[in-house]
Amino acid sequence: MDILGLFSRRNMLLGLGGAAATGAFVMASGPAWAGGKTDVPLNTAAYDDWSAQVNSNFTAHTGQVLKLVEVQAYPVSGTRPSEVRTQGFVARFDITRGAAMAEGRYLVAHPRGGTFEIFLTKGGPDKPLRMLADFN
């Protein structure tokens, strides 16, 4: 096999064209890792904003896709400090693509909510693909 023949002008142009098309597709449809356009910045959003995103997907920097399946508010009692949300809540995610995740911090991207860091914990031994995030 002639290795230099593989690097013809036509093959190089085809390869570059394919790479450019792939890059354009990823930029148009992939996660906004660089903090792309957002409608609701979920890193500081309230319970109502998160509830509006139920059934939407988040993509972790590790490749897993997590579907937000439920947002449940904590009971309110007394006054809360001004630097926290007015309503605390837990967000429940199901991993719909990829392997189970360890507990820890992840960089996640949401098509409308931006890219932000989130701390995820396990949903329990009976649900290995369930992850929880606590927001106060």
Instruction: List pLDDT tens digits, range 85-112.
Output: 889 999 999 999 999 999 999 999 999 9
Q: Is the CA virtual torsion 124, 47, 67, 23 positive or negative? A: negative
Please state the pTM of the whole predicted model.
0.70
Short-list 66, 72, 62, 75, CA closest to 106: 62
65 within 8 A of 96, measured Cβ to Cβ? yes
pLDDT in tens, 38-65: 577 999 999 999 999 999 999 999 999 9
